[in-house]
Amino acid sequence: MYLNNIIEAIGNTPLVKLNSVAAGIPGTILAKVEYFNPGNSVKDRMAIRMVEDAEKAGLLKPGGTIIEGTSGNTGMGLALAAIAKGYKCIFVMSDKQSKEKQDILRAVGAQVVVCPVDVAPEDPRSYYSVAKRLSQETPNSFYPNQYDNLSNTAAHYEGTGPELWKQTEGTITHYACGVGTGGTICGTAKYLKEQNPNIVSIGLDTYGSVFKKYKETGIFDENEIYPYKTEGIGEDILPKNVDFDLIDLFIKVTDKDAAVMTRRLAKEEGLFVGWSCGSAVYGALEYAKENLKDGDTMVIVLPDHGTRYLGKIYNDDWMREQGWLE
């Protein structure tokens, strides 16, 4: 048996029990390890779905160019889809993203445009604005817009959700996931809650992002927005894929707590994962300590791989500069 191309390897990632970092917490804590996808991240799932839905709708035509604003992982998923299907790619990133992410995208044949991070989303220099402008200027191009493209949520409603239900044999009681575009948490939570409305979905957010306050008050507070270092979660906008009704609560995690937990996952669990994985595990375990009981099963999504962060959180000198190395 063989696969016809690399994108057929997407999905059916393993569930792995957390032992050391979850010691002493009641219930069973499981990690959904998404770096087993071929592009090493959960974003492979929605990238191929956005491309195939665009093909069906006639928005992406043979020989076309896919242009997207990405923090790196969605770009990788789109690049793999493009290779398999014969498209070109241009990805626009903020200068906050690690150099590894830029290099990886260039390695798979994409053109990478880097923009300043410390500008408002509507600023013409922001990576949102530049991606939009390039898609308008480039003939035969497609701008997936992962933030507002509901194929993102659909990929997880039809893929990740059913996988978790099957893998836990319907015993899942709590589901925790970092929130960026919102597709992973909302698509998965929608499916799980249809199977069992009592399943609690926990969104992990970061300081500097608007989600938690918006969920709790309905107010989009610009004072909540300030620069933070963690990559891949939190937003200064409200993407259409974030359905706040499907997220029961948000927990905010600091850059430092996320980075330290990410390194613990590598050292203590053998899970060489990315930065926002540390955010998800740290926040979920804080919740679990107070709320989980024996017999409960919590699943935490680990979105990506540690190779994206070798120059940052896995670099002792960089960690020392931040004051985060104990």
How far, in Å, CA of 132 to CA of 117, rounded?
16
Bridge partner residues of 202 (DSSP): 176, 249
CA distances from 300 to 31, 164, 244, 253 (A): 5, 10, 19, 15
CA max distance for the chain:
58
Upper half-sphere CA count for residue 99 (Cβ side, 13 Å): 3
Q: Is the Cβ–Cβ distance between 214 and 80 less than 8 Å? A: no
CA distances from 285 to 170, 208, 215, 313 (A): 21, 21, 21, 20
Q: Is the Cβ–Cβ distance between 50 and 60 less than 8 Å? A: no
Residue 24 gets the label, from left (phi > 0), alpha (psi -120 to 50) or beta, of left
How far, in Å, CA of 96 to CA of 244, rounded?
27
How far, in Å, CA of 110 to CA of 168, rounded?
38
* Dihedral sign (CA 311, 315, 318, 324): positive
Instruction: Pick the catalytic residue from 43, 101, 190, 312.
Output: 43
Active site residue 43: yes
For residue 111 the two structure tokens come to 């053109």
Bridge partner residues of 33 (DSSP): 302
Q: State the catalytic residues.
A: 43
